[in-house]
Amino acid sequence: MVSASPEVPVAPLHGEHRFRSRSEYAIVADVMRDYARAVGADDPIHCDERAAAARGFAALVAPPTFATTIWMRAEERILDALVPGFHSGRVVHADRTLEIARPLLAGDRIGCEVDFESFRHYRDYDVVSVTTVLRDHDGQVTTTGSSTLLVHTRPVGCGQPGLPRQPQDLERVPVRRRLRTDRRDRITSALPRPIVDLGPLAVGADLPDATVTIAAADVMRHAGAVDSSAGAPGHATAVPGMLTFGLISGYLGRWLGDPTALTKLRVQYAPRMHYLPVGPDAPAPIRFGGQVGWLSSRRRMVTVVVDALSKGRKLFGYATAEARLG
């Protein structure tokens, strides 16, 4: 983090700011398939309707982190509108958490609520905290995402902060209670139980080592899923942090044997590792591993610590995940 004397927060950003999407986001099967390929989520329930039906789902099942394609779009519009000088390339530290109540399915129509919870200004840096909740057409929570970001910003116009704007496609709503939800607000309908057979497990047991190689085409495929500029083919690009976030879920889904078993992911990016360089002739290998950190046979839950290294550097300060064992 940055050591600096706190200054007075930008006046228009005192207190919470809450927004919701003006319309619902449609979960499109082809976009889901492209995202699954980009993050290495190779379970057939992501691309084959018959495989999804055999597991008890009414449509194709999205990879666990597919929700971030909606989450990040809304979050960046909020930050671009409310934080003077914001640009995603100026995020120098991030802590992100994703809680999954149920997987998204092709054909779902998802509403989005965003809570800009706190803002602190430190000279050339802003510390912001944002929570995003996705709800299905029946109003039930499918996913909750939260971010704490340290953003390197620049003064706007002679050192005076710019005024907040209305975020695109989002409308302001009154702040009556905290946006975070408890389990009573979450999915109540019956869902297929995950199919996980890992054999005997013990705290401290190693997860299998696996190497994933990311090419420029994977980066552009991921960018297309989040409706961002992907860059022209043949030019060097970079693996964004949210793609590596998705790669963790792909790795853990293969280890568990069922990606729907994942219920929570949390990562803190290592310094200067929000973007991993990759070019058309220089793919980026990422080696995954980890250990079992906690286990409950009564609750049938497991928590794991995940390691990810590329070119001799750790991608995350820490990364943990929780999963149901059926």
- Which residues, at least 6 apart from 94, have a Cβ–Cβ distance to it below 8 Å? 147, 148, 149, 150, 241, 268, 269, 274
pTM for the model stands at 0.82
The proportion of the chain whose per-residue pLDDT surpasses 90, expressed as a percent, equals: 37
Calpha distance 72→226 (Å, rounded): 8
Is the Cβ–Cβ distance between 213 and 165 less than 8 Å? no
**209-229 pLDDT per residue, tens:** 999 988 888 888 877 777 643
Is the Cβ–Cβ distance between 273 and 92 less than 8 Å? no
- DSSP H or E run through 72: helix 68-82
Q: How is residue 311 annotated by DSSP?
A: T
Calpha distance 88→191 (Å, rounded): 36
- Partners of residue 265 on adjacent β-strands: 98, 321
Amino acid identity, residue 259?
P
Q: What angle do CA 96, 215, 62 make, to 5 degrees?
A: 50
Judge whether residue 253 has pLDDT over 70.
yes
Is the Cβ–Cβ distance between 149 and 30 less than 8 Å? no
Average pLDDT over residues 49-73: 92
Calpha distance 241→246 (Å, rounded): 9
- Please report how many Cα atoms fall inside a 13 Å half-sphere around the Cα of residue 116, on the Cβ side: 32
Tell me which of 283 and 181 has the higher pLDDT: 283
For helices 68-82 and 241-256, give the axis angle rounded to 10 degrees.
160
Q: What is the pLDDT of residue 187?
A: 47
Calpha distance 308→227 (Å, rounded): 26
Calpha distance 193→257 (Å, rounded): 13
- Which residues, at least 6 apart from 159, have a Cβ–Cβ distance to it below 8 Å? none
Chain position carrying tokens 């610590």? 305
Chain position carrying tokens 């840096």? 125
Calpha distance 135→156 (Å, rounded): 36
Is 175 strand, coil or helix?
A: coil
At 176, the pLDDT band (50, 70, 90 cuts) reads low
Q: What is the pLDDT of residue 284?
A: 84
**68-111 pLDDT per residue, tens:** 988 888 887 877 777 766 766 666 667 899 999 999 999 999 99
**268-288 pLDDT per residue, tens:** 987 665 667 777 777 889 999
Tell me which of 261 and 120 has the higher pLDDT: 261
Q: What is the pLDDT of residue 32?
A: 92
